[in-house]
Structure 1
Amino acid sequence: MRILCLHGYGTSGDIMKLQLDAFIRQADASYEFVFLGGEFECPKAKGIGNLYDGPTFCFMESVRPHDVRNALDYLEHFVVEEGPFDGLIGFSQGASLALTYLLQHATDTSSGGDSDAHNNAFALKWAVFLSAIPAFSADASFNADLYRNLTDHDRALLEDFPYNNADIDFEAFSGQPRRAIAFQSFATMFDGCLSAEVVDQDYDHGFDPLKHNYCGADRSVPRIMHPELLPADVRIRIPTVHVTGVKDERDLIASSRLMERVCEPKLVQSLTHSGGHDVPRTMKDSRALVKAVDYAIRQSVHDLQ
């Protein structure tokens, strides 16, 4: 059993290995855990402090489509070269990338086309998402209509976006309700990330060009893959485990739970651990995660029979 692990923003593969130590020690000894490090060096995440002296990384410097595309290419290349993998564990930004990767595969399958990376190496049978940030599309045309033809009133609503979101009346946006869903779900995620100090105030959120109506701005705006903004047949159809910390920011918990809805309901397990925006650390929490993963593996074997 080979398991690919994707770390969070401002950490590294080595750090994630330490974070998952209690889980790894209780998991089946035959499991091989492979840790992929992010491509870009970035500041340390909150809580790392002096515990780790090495460089820290991220997979994406922003969630704009071109940065997500770059991260997908980076991941797909690794899977082709080092795979196949049976399972996938992602934490925070790593979970976001994992969700995007799996949803891209679902999109390819739905449209009748597959990339070479998926044809050659897509063997994942189950996935675990720890404190997941939502998935973002790498396709600049995904729901592009939601970011075009904004009215002056829409731009006025976006003046401080995605800051001071409590003051924004999202239902007042013009057009279909889908537009409000796109902006409000991003706001919820971003509020949580700021509160938990996952990112800082200077993070490239990607919406300034849209607010100022720059040419082509609609193509660079982050595309959140909200379940109500995806085609109904685009869903992750392998067993999944979704884990949040009871002490995590409320908005981040909501964003993580939202991602359960992009997965096949009958194959979803939800788990809560005693910590915050973190992986399960205690022996009790780790045992619960091992149990959930074991069940997901059994589900995947049953589905293949």
Structure 2
Amino acid sequence: MRILCLHGYGTSADALQYQLSGLLHSADPSWEFHMLSGEIECPPAPGIETKFTPPYYCWSRTFDAPSIEEAHTLITEAIEDEGPFDGILGFSQGASIIASFLLEQTASHPEEPLPFRFAIFCSTTIPCASDPNYCQSLMGSLSRQDQQRIRSGQDDQLAQLPTSIKAPIEEFVKVIKAGRSITREPIRFFLDRSIEEIPCALHPDHFAGRLSIPTLHLRGHNDLPGLSDCALLVEEFCNPKCRKTILHSAGHDIPRSGSELRQFRAGLEWLIAQSQLTPQ
């Protein structure tokens, strides 16, 4: 059983290996976890610099379509160079990159099987599009006034947006506000751009792609405010008949010990069993 793993923003493959250490030590020894690293250097996530030496990486600093496409390319290259893989796991931004990669694959090639039989989303943030056509469908007809409302990032201004863009933008802004301690960037860094460069969140009310493969979702009771909403949004994209959610007390992290680690391991065992039953 081979699983490709993507780390979170401002961390590294070594940091994710530590976050998964409880699972790695207790899982079936035949399971292989391949750690993939982002290539964009960025400031460290809070507390990371005390445990891990630089550099620290992310999959995208700007969340716009071209940078998300570059992150997707890293997954494709990993499959070609190191695959095949049975499943894929991501934490935080890594989970959101996996979500957008799989959802866009499903939408663009609905008759083709995905390159993974299952997916694990840990404390996922908002998935953003790499497809400029999707972004154009949301942003292309906005008035100048609506574009300025988006650039303001202010809740009262966003509330006046048309329904074609309101929910995706509000969810994205909620995440970048919640994640300022991680990205260390102000809201205007993401939104005060030309309309073509503003990130477009994938939202189940606007994006048709859905995942049929089995999925496991880990969410922290005490995660950063707003991020639990992202995890719920990603769950809406997944088949409820082969979807399992685990709530834990580790906050924006992954359980490494005790009953919650055992629950995580049992969830992964369930997921693997489901993947062997579920046709692609």
Paired residue secondary structure (2:109): helix
Determine the structure 1 residue equivalent to 2:160. 172
Length, aligned pairs only: 280
Question: How far apart are the structure 2 equivalents of 1:275 and 1:78?
Answer: 29
Aligned pair 1:300/2:278, yes or no? no
Q: Deviations over 1:17-56 (max 9, x none)?
A: 1111011112111101110111112211112132112421
- What is the CA-CA distance between 1:204 and the residue it aligns to? 7.3
Paired residue secondary structure (2:218): strand
Confirm or deny: 8 A CA contact 1:127 1:241 kept in the other structure.
yes
TM-score by length of 1: 0.85
Q: CA 1:43/1:265 → structure 2, altered by over 3 Å: closer, same or farther?
A: same
Question: How far apart are the structure 2 equivalents of 1:49 and 1:191?
Answer: 22
**Mapping for residues 42-121 of structure 1, pairs under 5 Å:** 42-110=42-110
Q: Deviations over 1:127-160 (max 9, x none)?
A: 1100001211111111413323433542453352
Question: How far apart are the structure 2 equivalents of 1:255 and 1:7?
Answer: 17
Question: How far apart are the structure 1 equivalents of 2:150 and 2:62?
Answer: 19
Amino acid at match of 1:207: L
Question: How far apart are the structure 1 equivalents of 2:254 and 2:245?
Answer: 14
Question: How far apart are the structure 1 equivalents of 2:188 and 2:64?
Answer: 9
Confirm or deny: 8 A CA contact 2:90 2:120 kept in the other structure.
yes
Q: CA 1:37/1:236 → structure 2, altered by over 3 Å: closer, same or farther?
A: same
- What is the CA-CA distance between 1:75 and the residue it aligns to? 1.5
Question: How far apart are the structure 1 equivalents of 2:103 and 2:27?
Answer: 27
Determine the structure 2 residue equivalent to 1:135. 127
Amino acid at match of 1:206: F
Paired residue secondary structure (1:178): coil
Q: CA 1:184/1:54 → structure 2, altered by over 3 Å: closer, same or farther?
A: closer
Aligned pair 1:235/2:210, yes or no? yes
- What is the CA-CA distance between 1:94 and the residue it aligns to? 0.6
Paired residue secondary structure (1:73): helix
Aligned pair 1:245/2:229, yes or no? no
Moved over 6 A (4+): none
Q: CA 1:92/1:204 → structure 2, altered by over 3 Å: closer, same or farther?
A: farther
Determine the structure 1 residue equivalent to 2:29. 29
Aligned pair 1:198/2:178, yes or no? no
Paired residue secondary structure (2:79): helix
Question: How far apart are the structure 2 equivalents of 1:33 and 1:8?
Answer: 16
Question: How far apart are the structure 2 equivalents of 1:25 and 1:130?
Answer: 18
CA RMSD of aligned residues (A): 2.0
- What is the CA-CA distance between 1:205 and the residue it aligns to? 4.6
- Report sequence identity in percent: 30
Aligned pair 1:269/2:219, yes or no? no
Question: How far apart are the structure 2 equivalents of 1:46 and 1:198?
Answer: 6
- What is the CA-CA distance between 1:93 and the residue it aligns to? 0.8
Q: Alignment partner for residue 157 of structure 1, among 142, 145, 149?
A: 149
Determine the structure 2 residue equivalent to 1:187. 173
Q: Alignment partner for residue 256 of structure 1, among 231, 250, 268?
A: 231
Amino acid at match of 1:245: G
Gaps of 5+ in 1: 210-216
Q: Deviations over 1:269-293 (max 9, x none)?
A: 1111111111123322211111111
Question: How far apart are the structure 2 equivalents of 1:72 and 1:204?
Answer: 25
TM-score by length of 2: 0.93
Q: CA 1:56/1:126 → structure 2, altered by over 3 Å: closer, same or farther?
A: same
Question: How far apart are the structure 2 equivalents of 1:284 and 1:222?
Answer: 39
Confirm or deny: 8 A CA contact 2:168 2:201 kept in the other structure.
yes
Q: Deviations over 1:93-125 (max 9, x none)?
A: 110111111112201223x5x6xxx8xxx5411
Q: CA 1:158/1:137 → structure 2, altered by over 3 Å: closer, same or farther?
A: closer
Gaps of 5+ in 2: none
Question: How far apart are the structure 2 equivalents of 1:283 and 1:57?
Answer: 30
Amino acid at match of 1:148: G
Paired residue secondary structure (1:33): strand
